[in-house]
C-alpha cells in the first residue's frame, strides 16, 4: 500500500479525499452508509452568523454532465452548528473543515472567532458563493477584495486558513496570489461557475433564483486549468475540486498541482464515489510503483 496521507498547513489527512462543502451536510446522513472516518476530511455545509432560509425552489436542475444549484446558503447558523453538529463530527477520526460565509468583514471575523475555541481542524472562507447577493462573492472577485478579507480574518484566525476561490473571475492566479500574500495557509478551488437554464415552453428560468452555480463533470476541465494556473503562481498548498467523479480525475487534479481534492456533486450520482476514489488512487500508485501520493502533486509535465 502506498502512502496516501497528506499534510496541508500542518494538518494531517489520512488520505487526500475530502467531501465538498454544501454537498455533504455535516456528514451524518452519509455515515449511515459507511463510516465517514474512511474519508480524509469533510468540509461542512457553509454556515453564516445568522440562520439562513435559503432561496425558494426549484433550487436545482440537471445540465449536460452536471447540475446548476441555487440553494443560497441555507444553514442553521454558526451557533447551532457549533452546538449541535460539530460535537458529533469531532468525535470521529476525520479532519473537520468549517466552511463560513458572510455579508460583511465583521461577519467573517466574528464567525472565525467563534470557531477558534472549537475543535475544528481548519477554516475554509467561502468568498465565492454565487447564489446569494451577500454571499461573500463581492469579496472574492477582485484581488483587492480578497486581500482585504483574508488579511482581516488572518488577524483573528487561530486555525489554519483555507481561502476558497470563485472561478467567476478573469485572472484566477492574481486572486490566489492576493490570498497568499494576505496570509492564507491554503487555497481551495473551484466553487461553482455561474450558469442559467431557461424552459423554452414557459420562457421562465428553470431555477427560481434565475441563475445558479454549475458543478459536476462539466466543469472539470475548467477546474484543472485553474488549479494548474494557481499552482504555478503560489507556494501554499492547493485543494482542488470541481467535477471530480472518479479516481482518474483525482490523479489528474493532483498532477495539476492539488495536494488534496474535494468531491461534491459526484456524491449525488454515487454516494460511494469518495471510497472508490481512495481505492483507485491507491491501486494507481501501486501499479506505477509510486510509494507516496505526495510524489504526484504538481508533476504534470507541461508543454
Partner 1 sequence: MGKIQDEFKIVNKLQPTETCFDYSIYCPELAEITQAGQFVHIYCGEKTLRRPISVCQTNKQKGIIRIVFEIRGEGTLWLSKRKKGEFLNILGPLGNGFPTDKNKKALLIGGGIGVPPLLECSKCYSSESSSILGFRSQENAILIEDFIKNCAEVYIATEDGTLGTKGFVTDVLNDLLAHETFDVICACGPTPMLKAVSHAALCNSIECFVSMEERMACGIGACLVCACKTKKDGKEGYSHVCKNGPVFNAQEVVW
Ligand X SMILES: Cc1cc2nc3c(=O)[nH]c(=O)nc-3n(C[C@H](O)[C@H](O)[C@H](O)COP(=O)(O)O)c2cc1C
Question: Which residues of this chain interact with partner 1, rule CB under 8 A?
Answer: 22-25, 29-30, 32-33, 45, 53-62, 65-67, 69, 71, 74, 216-217, 265, 267-272
- The interface region with ligand X, picked from 8-16, 67-75, 107-115, 270-278 by CB under 6 A, is 67-75
15 contributes a contact to ligand X by CB under 6 A = no
| 47-60: b (≥16 Cβ within 10 Å) or e | bbbeebeebeeebe
Distance CA 236, CA 224 (A): 17
141 contributes a contact to ligand X by CB under 6 A = no
- The interface region with ligand X, picked from 18-26, 111-119, 232-240, 281-289 by CB under 6 A, is 18-26
Kindly list the catalytic residues: 129
Distance CA 252, CA 138 (A): 31
Distance CA 271, CA 269 (A): 7
How many residues contact ligand X, by CB under 6 A? 26
Provide, rounded to whole angstroms, the least separation between the CB of residue 273 and partner 1. 11
Minimum CB distance to partner 1 smaller for 76 or for 298: 76
- Residue 70 in contact with residue 213, Cβ under 8 Å? yes
Interaction residues for ligand X, span 205-244 (CB under 6 A): 215-216, 219, 241-244
Provide, rounded to whole angstroms, the least separation between the CB of residue 240 and ligand X. 10
What does 126 bind: partner 1, ligand X, none (CB cut-off 5 to 8 Å by kind)? ligand X
Interaction residues for ligand X, span 244-273 (CB under 6 A): 244, 263-266
Query: Phi/psi class of residue 183: alpha, beta or left (left: φ > 0; alpha: ψ in -120 to 50)?
Result: left
164 contributes a contact to ligand X by CB under 6 A = yes
Minimum CB distance to partner 1 smaller for 22 or for 160: 22
| 17-27: b (≥16 Cβ within 10 Å) or e | bbbbbbbbbbb
Rounded to 5°, angle at Cα 25 from 20 and 30: 90
Please give the DSSP secondary-structure letter assigned to residue 85. I
3-class secondary structure, 178: helix
Distance CA 4, CA 13 (A): 9
Minimum CB distance to ligand X smaller for 205 or for 274: 274
What does 272 bind: ligand X, partner 1, none (CB cut-off 5 to 8 Å by kind)? partner 1
What does 143 bind: partner 1, ligand X, none (CB cut-off 5 to 8 Å by kind)? none
Provide, rounded to whole angstroms, the least separation between the CB of residue 287 and ligand X. 25
3-class secondary structure, 108: helix
Measuring CA to CA, how many Å separate 109 from each of 58, 158, 177?
A: 32, 11, 21
Interface contacts to ligand X, rule CB under 6 A: 20-23, 45-46, 69, 71, 73, 99, 126, 129, 164, 191-192, 215-216, 219, 241-244, 263-266
Amino acid at each position: 500500500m502506498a502512502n496516501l496521507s497528506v499534510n496541508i498547513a500542518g494538518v494531517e489527512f489520512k488520505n487526500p479525499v475530502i467531501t465538498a462543502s454544501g454537498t455533504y451536510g455535516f456528514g451524518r446522513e452519509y455515515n449511515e452508509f459507511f463510516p465517514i472516518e474512511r474519508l480524509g476530511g469533510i468540509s461542512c455545509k457553509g454556515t453564516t452568523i445568522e440562520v439562513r432560509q435559503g432561496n425558494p425552489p426549484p433550487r436545482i436542475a440537471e445540465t449536460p454532465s452536471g447540475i446548476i444549484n441555487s440553494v443560497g446558503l441555507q444553514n442553521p447558523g454558526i451557533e447551532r452548528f457549533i452546538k449541535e453538529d460539530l460535537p458529533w463530527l469531532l468525535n470521529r477520526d476525520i479532519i473537520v473543515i468549517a466552511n463560513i460565509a458572510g455579508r460583511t468583514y465583521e461577519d467573517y471575523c466574528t464567525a472565525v472567532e467563534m470557531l477558534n475555541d472549537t475543535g475544528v481542524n481548519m477554516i475554509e472562507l467561502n468568498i465565492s458563493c454565487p447564489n446569494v447577493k451577500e454571499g461573500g462573492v463581492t469579496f472574492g472577485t477582485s484581488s483587492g477584495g480578497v486581500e482585504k478579507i483574508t488579511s482581516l480574518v488572518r488577524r483573528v484566525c487561530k486555525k489554519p486558513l483555507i481561502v476558497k476561490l470563485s472561478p467567476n473571475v478573469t485572472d484566477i492566479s492574481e486572486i490566489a496570489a492576493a490570498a497568499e500574500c494576505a496570509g492564507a495557509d491554503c487555497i481551495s478551488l473551484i466553487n461553482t461557475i455561474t450558469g442559467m437554464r431557461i424552459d423554452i415552453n414557459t420562457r421562465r428560468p428553470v431555477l427560481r433564483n434565475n441563475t445558479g452555480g454549475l458543478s459536476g463533470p462539466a466543469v472539470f476541465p475548467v477546474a484543472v486549468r485553474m488549479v494548474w494556473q494557481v499552482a504555478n503562481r503560489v507556494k501554499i498548498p492547493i485543494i482542488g475540486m470541481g467535477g471530480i467523479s472518479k479516481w482518474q480525475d483525482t490523479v489528474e487534479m493532483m498532477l495539476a498541482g492539488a495536494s488534496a481534492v474535494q468531491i461534491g456533486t459526484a456524491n449525488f450520482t454515487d454516494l460511494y464515489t469518495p471510497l472508490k476514489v481512495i481505492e483507485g488512487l491507491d491501486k494507481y500508485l501501486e501499479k506505477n510503483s509510486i510509494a507516496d501520493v505526495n510524489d504526484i502533486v504538481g508533476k504534470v509535465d507541461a508543454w
